[in-house]
């Protein structure tokens, strides 16, 4: 029971990601001892659609957990708790027998854009801010429910339960319906301020309240591993299972970003900026997301950009042939060689600016039609300028979120960096210089999985609360401090960056 501390050796965390399930074994010091990842596929039947079969999640998760236990050489009985982290916003529709009705419409699916316009027009921006603290975006869950009602009415008529992806796995593991406050925050059906389902929003959208599961805090015990799940996973039957959390919230736990002043910045394919707050914070335009954190009485604001590391990967694949060839010959990572190339150009790239909107943008513009731009080319610019401008453009895009947070008077004292971008010393220094904050990379590459395991360990009694668990597990790399010599160049370049989108919006 949470709050009753006892010495137990291990916990299992499972991160249900977009491309696969990753299971990890963690000890009571928060050290990740072993991980196993199993992939699954995303179907795109039509442009802008993205669907996954929940059964593929279950098959990948059971394989990952069973292989984890078998390869770790630990007694299954020494596993004290299980916690899950999951991709947000997905819609799992179940019938009266709790069977899946159709493939899950996942977070990156864009088909519900017309439903978002209807929600905004009929509910109104003011009520969206008051009732659910977020604007209507196609990635969220509620617009997908409306899409189902309008486009697949026969399937809609069979719906009796609506779950998020990781909550479907929790149902398969424990037999119980549940969700947690952090994941529910991304449905557009949840009162983030009050940490409960929003009755006015449900009424406005005509979505039955009894479709939605009970809401728990992330480290609450929502059930135990059933005999059937034990046979499928190798976990001991009766092991406590935590409610779990959304991937970004669990990632923040794994990074130790749980108190105001800390900021989690992740550069993966997409990019995020997440800052914990003691009370809910909603900006007037709702450019930032406002969600519940995976700790009681804590919230966070978050900005999201869609093409962060994806921008540099685009350059690597389309224009990075010299680095790719050299890396293959030398047996090195081509990204490290791209760092070396970029370092040859000066900060600010002498007026060359890259807009990283290769797949539209989410924060602060929420514009699916925005596109990438390389502005300021002239005969003096080299490949080094171009590579560096791509990297700087990504950090400028993240800095848009940082600047909104500053306008909301959210305390920002230090950055904890994660994702593939945190392996680049050049990118870490850029973040320190452009944000004007000290930056340190997290010591754990699988932060969401670690955060999930810490929730499981807390539910299993290893820690008195999740805050204690996070403090025990936190580890960091080298500290990068802002270099004041680069301040003027970055200030000028960022000013140009922010002026380009308004100037080009009509052309997009």
Q: Which residues are catalytic?
A: 247
Q: CA 240, CA 1: separation in Å to the nearest integer?
A: 9
Determine how many CB atoms are found less than 10 A away from the CB of residue 85: 35
- For 68-109, give the secondary structure using H, E and C: HHHHHCCCHHHEEEEEEEECCCCEEEECCCCCECCCEECCCC
Angstrom CA distances, 287 to 79, 194, 499, stand at: 42, 21, 17
Pair 275, 263: CB distance under 8 Å = yes
Q: How far, in Å, CA of 369 to CA of 358, rounded? A: 9
Compute φ and ψ for 203, nearest 5 degrees.
-65, -40
Q: How far apart are CA 249 and CA 274, in angstroms?
A: 9
Any residues with CB less than 8 A from the CB of 348 and at least 6 apart, and which? Answer: 392, 486, 489, 490, 492, 493
d(CA 352, CA 489): 11
Phi, psi of 451 (to 5 degrees): -60, -40
Question: Under DSSP, is residue 257 helix (H, G, I), strand (E, B) or coil?
Answer: coil
The C-alpha torsion from 385 through 390 and 393 to 398, rounded to 10°, is -140
- CB–CB of 216/181 below 8 Å? yes
Residue 97 token pair:
């027998």
Q: Which residues contact 167 (CB under 8 A, 6 or more apart)?
A: 86, 92, 177, 178, 179, 183, 213, 244
In angstroms, the CA 402 to CA 393 distance is: 14
Residue 28's contacts (CB-CB under 8 Å, 6 or more residues apart) are: 7, 8, 9, 10, 457, 462, 472
Buried b (16+ CB within 10 A) or exposed e, 35-57: bbbbebebeeeeeebbbbbbebb
Contact 182, 218 (CB under 8 A): yes
Tokens of 213: 């599961």
Closest by Cα among 97, 71, 78 to 27: 78
Q: What residue spans of 285-363 are helical by DSSP H?
A: 309-319, 321-330, 334-342
């Amino acid at each position: 029971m949470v709050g009753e501390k006892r010495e137990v050796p291990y916990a299992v965390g499972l991160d249900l990601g977009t491309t696969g399930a990753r299971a990890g074994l963690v000890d009571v010091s928060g050290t990740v001892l072993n991980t196993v990842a199993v992939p699954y596929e995303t179907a795109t039947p039509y442009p802008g659609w993205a669907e996954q079969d929940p059964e593929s999640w279950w098959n990948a998760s059971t394989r990952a957990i069973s292989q984890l236990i078998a390869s770790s050489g630990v007694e299954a009985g020494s596993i004290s708790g299980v916690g899950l982290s999951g991709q947000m916003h997905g819609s799992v529709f179940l019938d009266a027998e709790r069977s899946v009705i159709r493939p899950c419409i996942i977070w990156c699916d864009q088909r519900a854009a017309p439903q978002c316009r209807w929600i905004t027009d009929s509910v109104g921006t003011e009520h969206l801010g008051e009732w659910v603290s977020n604007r209507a975006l196609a990635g969220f869950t509620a617009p997908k429910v409306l899409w189902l009602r309008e486009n697949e009415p026969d399937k809609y008529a069979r719906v009796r339960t609506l779950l998020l992806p990781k909550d479907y796995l929790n149902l398969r593991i424990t037999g119980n319906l549940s969700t947690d406050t952090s994941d529910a925050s991304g449905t557009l059906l949840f009162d983030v301020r009050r940490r409960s389902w929003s009755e006015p929003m449900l009424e406005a959208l005509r979505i039955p309240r009894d479709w939605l599961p009970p809401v728990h805090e992330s480290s609450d015990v929502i059930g135990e591993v059933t005999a059937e799940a034990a046979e499928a996973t190798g976990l001991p039957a009766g092991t406590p299972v935590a409610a779990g959390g959304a991937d970004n919230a669990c990632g923040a736990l794994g990074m130790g970003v749980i108190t105001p002043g800390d900021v989690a910045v992740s550069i993966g394919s997409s990019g995020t900026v997440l800052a914990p707050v003691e009370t809910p914070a909603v900006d007037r335009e709702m450019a930032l997301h406002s969600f519940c954190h995976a700790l009681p009485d804590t919230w966070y604001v978050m900005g999201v950009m869609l093409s962060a590391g994806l921008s540099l990967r685009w350059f690597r694949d389309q224009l990075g042939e010299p680095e790719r060839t050299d890396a293959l010959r030398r047996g090195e990572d081509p990204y490290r060689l791209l760092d070396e190339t970029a370092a040859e150009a000066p900060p600010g790239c002498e007026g060359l600016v890259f807009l990283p909107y290769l797949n539209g943008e989410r924060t602060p513009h929420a514009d699916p039609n925005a596109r990438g731009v390389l502005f300021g080319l002239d005969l003096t610019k080299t490949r080094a300028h171009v590579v560096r401008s791509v990297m700087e453009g990504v950090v400028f895009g993240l800095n848009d979120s940082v600047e909104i947070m500053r306008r909301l008077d959210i305390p920002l004292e230090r950055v904890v960096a994660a994702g593939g971008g945190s392996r680049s010393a050049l990118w870490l220094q850029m973040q320190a210089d452009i944000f004007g904050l000290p930056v340190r990379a997290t010591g754990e590459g699988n932060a969401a999985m670690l955060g999930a395991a810490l929730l499981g360990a807390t539910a299993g009694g290893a820690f008195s609360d999740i805050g204690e668990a996070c403090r025990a597990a936190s580890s960091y790399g080298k500290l990068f401090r802002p270099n004041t010599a680069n301040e003027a160049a970055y200030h000028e370049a960022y000013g140009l960056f922010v002026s380009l989108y308004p100037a080009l919006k009509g052309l997009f």
